[in-house]
Structure 1
Amino acid sequence: MKVTNSKELKQKLNELREAQKKFATYTQEQVDKIFKQCAIAAAKERIKLSKLAVEETAIGFVEDKIIKNHFAAEYIYNKYKDEKTCGIIEHDEALGIAKVAEPIGIVAAIIPTTNPTSTTIFKSLISLKTRNAILFSPHPRAKKSTITAAKLILDAAVKAGAPKNIIGWIDEPSIELSQELMSEADIVLATGGPSMVKAAYSSGKPAIGVGAGNTPAIIDESADIEMAVSSIILSKTYDNGVICASEQSVLIPNSIYEKVKEEFIKRGAYILNKNEMVKVKEIMFKDGNINAGIVGKAAYTIAKMAGIKVPETTKILIGEIQSVERDELFSHEKLSPVLAMYKVKDFDEALEKAQRLIHLGGNGHTSSLYINSQSNKDKVKKFGLTMKTARTFINMPSSQGASGDLYNFAIAPSFTLGCGTWGGNSVSQNVEPRQLLNIKSVAERRENMLWFKVPQKIYFKYGCLGFALKELKDMNRKRAFIVTDKDLFKLGYVNKITSVLDEINVEYSVFSDIKSDPTIDSVKKGAKEMLSFEPDTIISIGGGSAMDAAKIMHLLYEYPEAEIENLAIRFMDIRKRICDFPKLGKKAISVAIPTTAGTGSEVTPFAVITDNETGMKYPLTSYELTPNMAIIDTELMMNMPKGLTAVTGIDALVHAVEAYVSVMATDYTDGLALRAIKMIFKYLPRAYRNGKEDTEAREKMAHASNIAGMAFANSFLGICHSMAHKLGAMHHVAHGVACAVLIEEVIKYNATDCPIKQTAFPQYKYPNAKEKYAEIADYLNLKGSNDDEKVKALIEAISQLKKELGIPKNISAAGIDKKDFYLTLDEMSELAYDDQCTTANPRYPLINEIKDIYIKAF
């Protein structure tokens, strides 16, 4: 039923109350199943919901709202998936005390226009996790997107076993219906403007609400200025500045003021002069309040509305002011990419003014300090003790930091940020399922643990296959299942394996029904034969397709019930994915033997499978898929055709280049990537020209491919692969060719010190892709007196290498019809944006920017 008036609201509340009574009897296992399925449903529809929210509200940025929706699903799920919320949740035998969790009842959820879908996802999930019913009151200008998100979660919850009416909403929201809802519910969870939050606390029912934000950011003399400025811009431009925790003012000591100012300009800020500031104030504020028409608009749009001409690439507008009094409009919250900048005498004056700014309208919310915290512990302590803010941050972007579980993993992920009694709130922390105390958190930026994972054993040398396989005897292996393609089987490659297996008395079975781009049907067929044969060793021989197929067969062999579609859900952090990858190795180990020098699949955690009916490719990523043993025997590669040599070799080059500039690159991967790049430039032309006779070139290319594979297995890839995946899938272009026709334009796109958006990854402090491309050029001894010249030289070197190998120079030359290309362009661009490889690209791409790269590469 629809809810449009008081009578219908009362009826809906009665339905929710009955549903909640039933839900209150559910076990932890039942609740957790519902919680997980709702998180999965929300993650899958994150793009659709984001586009709907921006279309309806005209606020914010589609790609950033995608991140919010993804975060609301993935991070919330991972934070609370193991938390006990039903029955006895703590029991201390010695003290004789048990804590029992009981649900509250009906949650009245007030949803803002700025973040309608992500807030709805967040509040739904924490309500379902605690066995509460929830009824949403959308903002009138965001009702369609809010209701769509709520219905999506409801459908997933009911499908997973929840009562039918456990989630509801007001279809035609009004102030009167919202007030009635708050007075009738058992608790109010309010996110919105100050008047709505005040109404929630005046409803007569327990309420959890948020306060206004007016975040000051102090940049100390000891700060890493590049990181500080990049972090502030990253935060301030997030969803066009609508996050209540985003920086509103920056306070800078006189001694570094001009240097910081120059860095802001370098990174895309525009400094307003006095006349321009007057114009911006007139358009931004009406009668002393924020003009709703500028909320969530881009800096360029706001400047245009004010009649000011600025570059279209402008990220934020900055006004230089001194007053921290109430009549200075720029000292207040601006809900847009507009920032006030203060020049102060020293740290103490900055701290004094920051307190005043908080008092003007951000009591209890968020404050931040950029500083060398190791050598200035006294300042950090003073800042933490002085600022009356629940989120008191050190060296982190405040928008992303306040969201939690990203720049400091002890901050709870949330979309409702309590401000404590300072801000008139009942909680002083990020809202989560259990709220007990006002807790003040002083959090420093932390880089998470990184890793380097490769197969346990890698054998390499011409003719090493037999020696390596004989180790299976020492490992007491008895039954081997061999996965390959029909061509290699006919050419006798498998005989080189079976002859050794016969010698060491290992029984075997061969599955050769693998084609390029392995399908779900063929993989399931192979897994079925595995289940029948019961191997303790799985051997794949061939190119990437055979090895990918074997990896997924291994998964289905050990876990026949595994849901490939869910395991393929894209993650933001491999350690926080919604669906955990099962542990492999209980039944069998895996051995990978490449016959091409390009994919590196023998040492990577990646595999791709194609849906027979839809043509959709499912990329699976887990270190569980990394083979236990890799055998790199150049003898198997000597007869590679010239064309295959070229495209697989270029694929390996792109692997190494993208690994080197990835935001997840480390000292461990950088050395491998550089070495692979140099080897490929030196030996690929030789392997292409006379590969059958040039054993050295073949062997070096085999090693280079493997080394590049180890690099990108641990640093991941970037948008060249994201775009190549979609170009190849939609236009049937070989993967290596797809990478090759895109790589030059991708390098041009990434090689900037001032990207529109920087990828958010704690280890990646400021844009450095241009510098790293230049380092590649130096390593190759290319000419150039500065980074720009070196990047240009690298691009020219790659283009020349492609020419030598007979590889098409662009998409058009690869045989793709112009009409067909443009018909698929929009879909390719959106799918490439959502590809798993996009996550590690150094420049965070917008969908329209990916589209532009495709067009330039055409």
Structure 2
Amino acid sequence: MAQAANLNMVEDDSAAAEVAELVARSRAAQAQIEDYTQEQVDKLITAMVWAVAKPGVAEKIAQFTVDETQLGNYDGKYLKIFRKTRATLYDIIDDKSVGIIEEDPVRNIVKIAKPVGVIGALAPTTNPEATPVIKAISAVKGRNSIIVAPHPRAKLTNKMIVDLMREAIVKMGAPADLVISIDTPSLEKTNELMKQCDRILATGGGAMVTAAYSSGTPALGVGAGNAVVTVDETADLDDAAEKIRISKTLDLAASCSSDNSVILVDAIHDEMLAKLQAKGGYILDNDAKAKLQAAIWVDGHINAKVVAQTPKFIADYAGFDVPEGTQFFIVPESGFGPDHPFSGEKMTVTMALYRAKDIDDAIRLTNGIQAYQGQGHSCGIYSNSDANIMKLANATKTSRVMVNQPQAASNSGNLWNGMRQTFSLGCGSWGGNSTNNNITWRDLINETWVSKPLAQPKVLPADDVLFASVIDELK
């Protein structure tokens, strides 16, 4: 016991020393760009994206990521590294992040952007290709440096991407250490990074996010995903079926934004279910459902062996047959909570299917499902009724409601909507987070507020005006 404790102490000391050296390098690099102009900053982040997303390189990264992680598929990885990184750059490139970034003439206040310093970033194994890029350009956009701690299963992918960005940074005349990778990651090093950096940007499992919040360093964490999508009686069913297929199968459901549950209202239930089947959805009977449940969850935890795998692989592993052309599983469900595990996040091409009487019943189901898992993250609706859309938005505890859009490809921003581009989705107090934001560079800066006297000072109104709405009732 004593030997083991001593060994742990040695490992912790070694990790602390290694991370301290990385942080010192990172801090020195950040100091060199602290006074960069907006033009210099924007050229840097443009070069960083081009280095990893240009034709020929993006394809190599996509294939390398699949080969190393054995998660998802080439098409999904390629979309993220080639398209998502471009879209994120395009989304932020014209933002003013240096000097005065906001003026409020009514309150006579101006806001000045200032860097935080060293950002410590956690990158998950499910999105290891674009996450380091998006976090890095968000950090540098605010004139910060960044150290990326990858999941061990994606460490080589992370190193490849970070090295490409470092080469581009040097060619732009800036220090390579603006972006540093922890090349041999460990839990001890990740914990040390969170203690020693200036702000944590945590994307990953719940344990890591909790550790980030407990580190003593200001942290931006994300909540658990478990997207619930409703299709009402006014929806374009063909459009909804295709977009649900896109979302459910994107990168083999590696994203926490994949449609985990779909609710069909009575009026269109049978017709819509047939359209989902036509898109490659396979309805599981009770026997296959039981086998799939045993395959996905082991001792109450999601089985890593089936995460982001093909339907055939999962079916073979679970011990049931699926017809050729199956793209995702449809599991009929009615309840939610621990006794109904399919109501939770599945990280596989598995969709729980619910039937609702109407929009009010769909809201009840959405809230019940997300009270179990995923509250605060996101939900969606396919509808042409503004009344139904706003009813669901007002009645659910969610940070994002995606309307007539493929959830997994939309809630983190896409070219067809106005959401800020990111892979870090704050879930508010519902998900245990400090923000509901799609987290971007604006969350990675400090702001100095400069307040000047108003041209005309405000004057308090008389009591009979200020308290007019209650004064008679309180007599």
TM-score band, normalised by the shorter chain? 0.7 to 0.9
Residue identity matched to 1:15:
R
Residue 31 of structure 1 aligns with which residue? 41
Gap regions ≥5 residues in structure 1? 437-858
Match of 1:42 among 44, 52, 72: 52
Matched, 1:395 2:404: yes
Taking the TM superposition and a 5 Å limit, the aligned residue runs for 1:677-826 are none
Residues 256 and 72 of structure 1, relative CA distance in 2, 3 Å threshold: closer
Shift of 1:123: 0.6
Query: How far off its partner does 1:168 sit?
Result: 1.1
Q: 1:93 to 1:266 in 2, by over 3 A?
A: closer
1:59 aligned to 2:71?
yes
Instruction: Give, in whole Å, the separation in 1 of the partners of 2:105 and 2:332.
Output: 61
Deviation at 1:96, TM superposition (A): 4.2
Alignment of 1:572-591 (within 5 A): none
Shift of 1:38: 1.1
Match of 2:130 in 1: 118
Amino acid at match of 1:31: V
Deviation at 1:270, TM superposition (A): 0.6
Show the counterpart of 1:331. Answer: 343
Q: Distance in 2 between matches of 1:103 and 1:85?
A: 9
How much does 1:4 deviate? Answer: 7.6
2:10 aligned residue: none
Give yes or no for contact 2:265–2:362 (8 Å, CA) kept in 1. yes
Which residue of 1 is the match for residue 180 of structure 2?
168
Aligned-partner SS, 2:282: strand
State the AA in 1 paired with 2:271. K
Counterparts of 1:301 and 1:393 in 2: how far apart (Å)?
31
Structure 2 SS opposite 1:400: helix
Give 1:104's aligned residue: 116
Q: Please list the CA deviations of residues 329-359 of structure 1 after superposition, one character each: whole Å capped at 9, or x if unmatched.
A: 1111011110000122222111101111111
Q: For each residue in 1:352-387, what CA deviation from the matched residue of structure 2 results, as whole angstroms up to 9, or x when unmatched?
A: 0111111111011010111123xxx22221111011
Aligned equivalent of 1:243, options 234, 255, 261? 255
Matching residue of 1:407? 416
1:400/1:406 contact within 8 Å kept: no
The match for 2:292 is 280
AA aligned opposite 2:431: G
Counterpart CA distance in 2 for 1:30 and 1:136 is 23
Aligned to 1:20: 30
Partner residue of 1:422 out of 409, 430, 436: 430
1:435 and 2:443 correspond: yes
Change (3 A) 1:282 1:224: same
Q: Does structure 1 residue 255 correspond to structure 2 residue 267? A: yes
Question: Would the aligned equivalents of 2:257 and 2:407 in 1 still touch at CA under 8 Å?
Answer: yes
Q: Distance in 1 between matches of 2:395 and 2:230?
A: 13
CA distance in 1, matches of 2:429, 2:272: 35
Aligned mate of 1:179, from 166, 191, 194: 191
Q: In the alignment, which of 71, 74, 77 is matched to residue 86 of structure 2?
A: 74
**Alignment partner of 1:371 out of 360, 364, 383:** 383
Aligned partners of 1:368 and 1:394 also within 8 Å: yes
Please say if residues 133 and 166 of structure 1, whose CA atoms lie closer than 8 Å, have aligned partners that are also in contact: yes
Alignment correspondent of 2:5: none
Shift of 1:252: 1.3
Match of 2:177, as an amino acid? N
C-alpha separation between the residues in 2 aligned to 1:223 and 1:186?
A: 47
Partner of 1:9: 19
Count residues with an aligned counterpart: 430
> 1:227 offset after TM fit, Å?
1.1
Indicate if the aligned counterparts of 1:32 and 1:81 stay in contact, CA closer than 8 A: yes
Q: Distance in 2 between matches of 1:165 and 1:133?
A: 7
Distance 1:17 1:31 in 2: 17
How far apart are residue 225 of structure 1 and its match?
1.2
Q: Partner residue of 2:7? A: none
Q: Is the 8 A contact 1:72 1:119 kept in 2?
A: no
Report the alpha carbon displacement of residue 407 of structure 1 after superposing the two structures with TM: 3.2
* Structure 1 residue 353 corresponds to structure 2 residue 365: yes
Aligned to 1:638: none
Q: Judge conservation of contact 1:300–1:313 (CA < 8 Å) in 2.
A: no
SS of alignment partner, residue 157 of structure 1: helix
Q: Distance in 2 between matches of 1:245 and 1:158?
A: 35
Q: Secondary structure at the match of 1:172?
A: coil
SS of equivalent to 1:342: strand
Kindly indicate whether residue 230 of structure 2 is the aligned counterpart of residue 221 of structure 1. Answer: no
State the partner residue of 1:210. 222
1:327 alignment partner, SS class: coil
Question: What is the aligned partner in structure 2 of residue 383 from structure 1?
Answer: 392
Residue 133 of structure 1 is matched in structure 2 by: 145
Per the TM alignment, residue 403 of structure 1 is displaced from its structure 2 partner at its CA by: 2.5
Further displaced range: 250-259 or 212-221: 250-259
Structure 1 residue identity aligned to 2:412: S
The partner residue of 1:188 within 186, 195, 200 is: 200
- Counterpart of 2:63 in 1: which secondary structure? helix
Q: Contact (CA 8 Å) 2:379, 2:401: kept in 1 or not? A: yes
2:161 partner SS: helix
SS in 1 for 2:88: helix
Cα gap change, 1:248 to 1:93, in 2 (>3 Å): closer
Secondary structure at the counterpart of residue 115 of structure 2: coil
Structure 2 residue ranges without an equivalent (≥5)? 1-12, 445-475
Q: The residue matched to 1:218 in structure 2 has which SS?
A: strand
Would you say the 8 A contact 1:72–1:121 is kept in 2? no
| Residues 99-131 of structure 1 deviation map (CA, whole Å, 9 limit, x = unaligned) | 211000000000100011110110111111111
TM superposition shift of 1:312: 3.3
Given residue 242 of structure 1, which amino acid in structure 2 is its aligned partner?
A: A
Q: 1:417 to 1:94 in 2, by over 3 A?
A: closer
Q: Match for 2:164: what amino acid?
A: L
Max radius of gyration: which structure? 1
Distance (whole Å) between structure 2 residues aligned to residue 91 and residue 365 of structure 1? 31
Change (3 A) 1:95 1:249: closer
Query: What SS does the aligned partner of 1:364 have?
Result: coil
d(CA) in 2 for partners of 1:118 and 1:413? Answer: 12
**What TM-score comes out, normalization by structure 1 length?**
0.49
Offset from partner CA, 1:191-225 (integer Å, 9 cap, x none): 10010011111111111111111111111112111
* Offset, 1:325: 2.5
Q: Secondary structure at the match of 2:331?
A: strand
The percentage of aligned residue pairs carrying the same residue is 38
Partners in 1 of 2:190 and 2:176 — Cα distance? Answer: 23
2:441 maps to amino acid: P
* CA root-mean-square deviation: 1.6
| Counterpart-to-counterpart distance in 2, 1:242 and 1:4 | 33
Question: In the alignment, which of 300, 304, 315 is matched to residue 312 of structure 2?
Answer: 300
Q: Is the 8 A contact 2:122 2:203 kept in 1?
A: yes
Distance 2:320 2:409 in 1: 30
- Contact 1:211/1:364 (<8 A) preserved: yes
The one-letter code sitting in structure 2 at the alignment partner of 1:55 is D
Residue identity matched to 2:266 = N
Q: Take 1:193 and 1:159, find their aligned partners in 2: how far apart are those partners?
A: 35
1:254: how far off? 2.5
Q: Is the 8 A contact 2:337 2:344 kept in 1?
A: no
Secondary structure at the aligned position of 1:434 is classed as helix
Cα offsets for 1:761-796 (capped at 9, x unmatched): xxxxxxxxxxxxxxxxxxxxxxxxxxxxxxxxxxxx
CA–CA distance in 1 between the matches of 2:316 and 2:139?
43
Q: 1:34 corresponds to which letter in structure 2?
A: L
Q: What TM-score do you get using the length of structure 2 for normalisation?
A: 0.88
CA distance in 1 between counterparts of 2:162 and 2:314 reads 32
